[in-house]
Amino acid sequence: MDVEAEIRELKRRVGELEGSFGFLTGQVRDVHRSLLSFQEETNTRFDRVETDLGTVKADLGTVKVDVLAVKDDVRQLREDLPSIVGGAVREALHGRQS
């Protein structure tokens, strides 16, 4: 093979490599853009989840306060119930005696 043929062959092979490199560079660029878009969307969704979780925590705090209030009311009723029932029974018995 002569030198000119070898040079042409090398140029052809370099051209193929450059074409492949250009193609791969474009693919990597597209993947990078897709990853950046995915990252932005994921961050947005996580921010929404964190906001919703904060709302749920606040609602649970309110529910806890309400449950504690009901618990206190039941405890107070349990303490007051004997005198309420006793008063009602005395009143009923007193009504019969009159």
pLDDT tens for 38-90 read 999 999 999 999 999 999 999 999 999 999 999 999 999 999 999 999 999 99
Instruction: For residues 91 and 82, give the distance between their C-alpha atoms in angstroms, rounded to a whole number.
Output: 14
Element (DSSP H or E) covering residue 3: helix 3-97
Inform me whether the pLDDT recorded for 1 exceeds 70. no
Average pLDDT estimate for 14-41: 94
Integer Rg of the chain from CA:
41
Is it the case that residue 97 has pLDDT exceeding 80? no
| pLDDT for the residue numbered 98 | 62
C-alpha to C-alpha distance for 48 and 54, rounded to whole angstroms: 10
pLDDT of 13 higher than 70: yes
Distances (CA, A) of 69 to 55, 63, 64, 81: 21, 10, 9, 18
Residue 56 corresponds to which tokens in the numbers above?
């749920």
Place of tokens 């250009």: 22
